Structure 1
Amino acid sequence: MGEAQFGVRHIIGAPIATTRLAEQALVCMPPRAAKFTLSEWKLSNDQRCRNTEDQQQLADRILGESERVRIETAERAHIMKSTTDRRLEERIGDVEFNKNELQIQRREICIELEALGVYKTRLQDCLSSLQANALNICRKCLMLRDGRLGIDLVVDEVEHALQQEITTILGGQSLLKRVLEQLNEQMRRLRSTRYLLDRDLQYKQAAIDVDKDNLSLKPTDLCLSVYEGYANLDPANISAEEYNSYSAKNIQSAAREVTSSRPIKMFVDTLLKQVIDDLWVAYKKCNHEFSERIKETKLAKAKLEDMHRETSQKISDMQDNILLLQKALSDKEGHIALAHTRLGRRANRIGAELVKDPPGQSLYYECEMLRHSTEQLQQMLQEATSSLRYLLQTQIQLEEDINVKMNTLKIDEVDCMTLRETMDYHAY
């Protein structure tokens, strides 16, 4: 830099030759301002005024436009907020309507589930009663009747009726079990549908709460925030048609399940009545066969008892007869001894006196007659003794048969019929 631009002031009292550059104080002076002409000055002032007027006019236009835009945007925001509020209210009303429809269907499902629960209890009670009461009693009756003795251990109509009753009970149980499975499946489907309705109701209530909260918000609330993310602020990807179809599908599904459960209840009523009627028919038939068999056994027992009484009387008569025969034989022994003694003494006659005279002939005939009579009496005594032995055997057999009949009557009339009185078929 030259001295034309920077003035160098030397330190007073120090020669230039001995002053170093580092010890010198440099002062920078600005360059001289360029000078303008008067016309340039006037032109500059006129230009500044025109620029200022242009800026003022532009500002006036911007102020007017700003006020218009401000009023227009405020009105638009108010209109949009009102429109959004109205649509939120309409949406809340639509969702609440669908929610009410779902709640109606849910109540119907709950009522049907409760009713099916009652029918399930009826079926279970009937099954348990048939298993624990009727079936066990019939099988026990068969076991008890195996305790019959002798000829009474016969396959009779009572046994066939008991087997038929057991078959009827097992068939009824099979039908009731199949219906119970269908009932459980229907209850499972109703619970599944109720779960879907509950979930849909939960979602709808959450949507209603969200929209009500949005409806209650004001632009001046402090809880408002501005989203500055990059993702889409509205992630909804389900159309209104799909939404309506989903809700309508849930309602239709619930109504269909409720409708499907009603025929099952009617079928259970019909089946229970039919099963109980069939069981009553088998029960009455079996009781009738028991009664007939008991009557036959009582008649046979009464006949045996009559024969036993007659046999006992015959035994008594035969015993008396044997005593009389024995007495007759005893009496004949004296007569035989007398006749033989007379013959023996007359055999001691001497000489010509030993003649066949009428007394001798009479004694001979008497001895023959007594011998023949004794043989007849002995034969009759043997026959009477044999008859008495057979009568005693017959009496014992009759007593055994009577005891067998008494045992049969005890089993059929006392044991089995007492058990069967506890069988209870009623409308479950």
Structure 2
Amino acid sequence: MSSEVLVSRPHYDSRAVSQEGTPGKEPDPKPSSGSATAGYRSAKYTPSEWFSNYRTLLQQAGSDSHAARSIQRESRTLSQHTEADTSQTQADGTRLLGERLQEIHSWKSELQRQIEQLQADTEALLALKRRLEKALDATETPYAIATDNLNCRTRRMGADLVRDSVEDELIQEVDLIKNVQALLKRTAAQVVTQVSMNREAKQTLEMDWSDKYQAYNFDDHSGRCTNMSPDTKHHPSSAAMQDQVSNCTLWTTFTQNNLTKALHEERATLSLRRLVEQVLEDTAEDLRVQCSRVDQAFSRHCGELIEARSQLQIKLAKILEEIGAQERNIVALQEAIHNIDPPLRVAQSRLHLRSLRPNMELCRDQPQLSLEGEVRQINASLAALHQQLSEARGCLSRLEESRVSLEKDIHCKNHSLFIERDKCMSRRKRYPTISALSGY
């Protein structure tokens, strides 16, 4: 039965073939001894093939076992090296993240300090702005007082309507107030501009601080991640280079530039604060000095008016005495003229009666000559009395004119004193203090 079964001949293992003979070629079989045995030999190995295949399997198994052990050793070594390298790299990354956190914290603290400084500077500037506005409002009162004084002084009468030192000081005060108001407005505009620049720099620092705050949180979370963290997962694209990524130099330079700009604004703010303080101090001092000069000019002028009025009143009293004396003199002259009239009538009557003498009795005798001399004397005296009376009446008229002029001038002085002292100087008592003019 076995002689009738035909078994196909398997191929040789290529690895065994490569070790025993030429690769790709099978060993030639022994030549058949006869055609009768051809069906039994065509599917069987020879003993040498059996031994060759046996040795080949043993060698292959030994080679595979050796290779497996080598790979196992290499795998253990690679695993150990990989684990050590990975642990070291992770430790280095954690250490660098810690250093980065310290650096970010340092810059963030500096940004926070500068932000607080800018905030304090801005609040100080806003306080100075309010002081400037209050000082500007306070200048309205001196301006109203000065202009009211000028308007009141235009109502002076007569010769008292003069451009004196008081008016010059008042005009200078008005000009000074206008200049102070313009200066305060310009200074307030500078403060508003600086406040805007401070807020812009503060906003830039706050944005940088916010970015660093987020970066700190991310790096802090990254530094806390471990191999046992449950929230870690694969992000294959995270190691790719991102667009618009800055380097450490640009990162540091960016924050330094922001801090430099903030420091510049801080210095500008400090300089402006000193300027505003000096402006408020100088303007308040200048206004108060000018107010004192105006008040002194008013006081001097009121003293001059009082002195002039006193002199005028004294002179008026003398004039009134002279008028009384002159009136009495006129009365006396009139009485003298009245009293000289009877002797004149007597003398003229005597001459008239003697002119009625007849013929040779009409003689220019001694009585005639005496009577004619008496009439001439009386007429001369009467003419002198009339002349004196005319002069006395003219003098009285001039005295009356002087009295009227003195009374008018005294009335002008009283009116001027009322304007200067009761109107102007009393109004100037409401002049703001230095603290009010300084914006407090």
Give the TM-score range, shorter chain: 0.7 to 0.9
Structure 2 counterpart of 1:81: 90
Deviations 1:40-59 (A, max 9, x none): 99969968898788777766
Matches within 5 A, 1:114-133: 114-130=123-139, 132-133=140-141
Query: Does the residue aligned with 2:197 lie in a helix, a strand or coil?
Result: helix
**Which residue identity is paired with 2:93?**
T
Q: CA deviation at 1:96?
A: 0.7
**Alignment partner of 1:102 out of 95, 106, 111:** 111
Contact 2:97/2:223, CA 8 A, preserved across alignment: yes
Structure 1 counterpart of 2:204: 196
Query: Does the residue aligned with 1:155 lie in a helix, a strand or coil?
Result: coil
Q: CA deviation at 1:316?
A: 1.7
Structure 2: 5+ residue runs without aligned partners?
Answer: 10-42
Contact 2:150/2:170, CA 8 A, preserved across alignment: yes
Q: Distance in 1 between matches of 2:6 and 2:97?
A: 72
Structure 2 counterpart of 1:7: none
Structure 1 counterpart of 2:329: 321
Deviations 1:376-420 (A, max 9, x none): 222222222222222212211111111122222222233222233
* 1:143 matches 2:157: no
What fraction of aligned residue pairs are identical, expressed as a percent? 26
Structure 2 counterpart of 1:21: none
Matches within 5 A, 1:330-409: 330-350=338-358, 353-409=361-417
Q: Distance in 1 between matches of 2:94 and 2:239?
A: 25
Q: Structure 2 length normalisation: TM-score?
A: 0.76
Q: CA deviation at 1:182?
A: 4.0
Structure 1: 5+ residue runs without aligned partners?
Answer: 1-31
Query: Does the residue aligned with 2:431 lie in a helix, a strand or coil?
Result: coil
Structure 2 counterpart of 1:113: 122
**Which residue identity is paired with 1:415?**
K
Query: Does the residue aligned with 1:237 lie in a helix, a strand or coil?
Result: coil
* 1:211 matches 2:219: yes
Contact 1:279/1:425, CA 8 A, preserved across alignment: no
Structure 2 counterpart of 1:283: 291
When residues 230 and 301 of structure 1 are mapped into structure 2, their CA distance, relative to the original with a 3 A threshold, is: closer
Query: Does the residue aligned with 2:434 lie in a helix, a strand or coil?
Result: coil
Contact 1:321/1:384, CA 8 A, preserved across alignment: yes
Q: Distance in 2 between matches of 1:309 and 1:198?
A: 86
Q: Distance in 1 between matches of 2:269 and 2:238?
A: 52
Q: CA deviation at 1:88?
A: 1.9
Q: Distance in 2 between matches of 1:236 and 1:68?
A: 41
**Which residue identity is paired with 1:315?**
I
Q: CA deviation at 1:352?
A: 5.2
Structure 2 counterpart of 1:243: 251
Deviations 1:325-357 (A, max 9, x none): 223333333343344444444444455554445
Contact 2:313/2:410, CA 8 A, preserved across alignment: yes
Q: Structure 1 length normalisation: TM-score?
A: 0.77
**Which residue identity is paired with 1:365?**
G
**Which residue identity is paired with 1:264?**
L
Structure 2 counterpart of 1:265: 273
Contact 1:142/1:162, CA 8 A, preserved across alignment: yes
Contact 2:288/2:434, CA 8 A, preserved across alignment: no
Contact 1:172/1:275, CA 8 A, preserved across alignment: yes
Q: Distance in 2 between matches of 1:325 and 1:35?
A: 195
Structure 2 counterpart of 1:303: 311
Contact 2:285/2:434, CA 8 A, preserved across alignment: no
Q: CA deviation at 1:97?
A: 0.9
Deviations 1:143-171 (A, max 9, x none): 32222222222222223333333444444
**Which residue identity is paired with 1:386?**
G
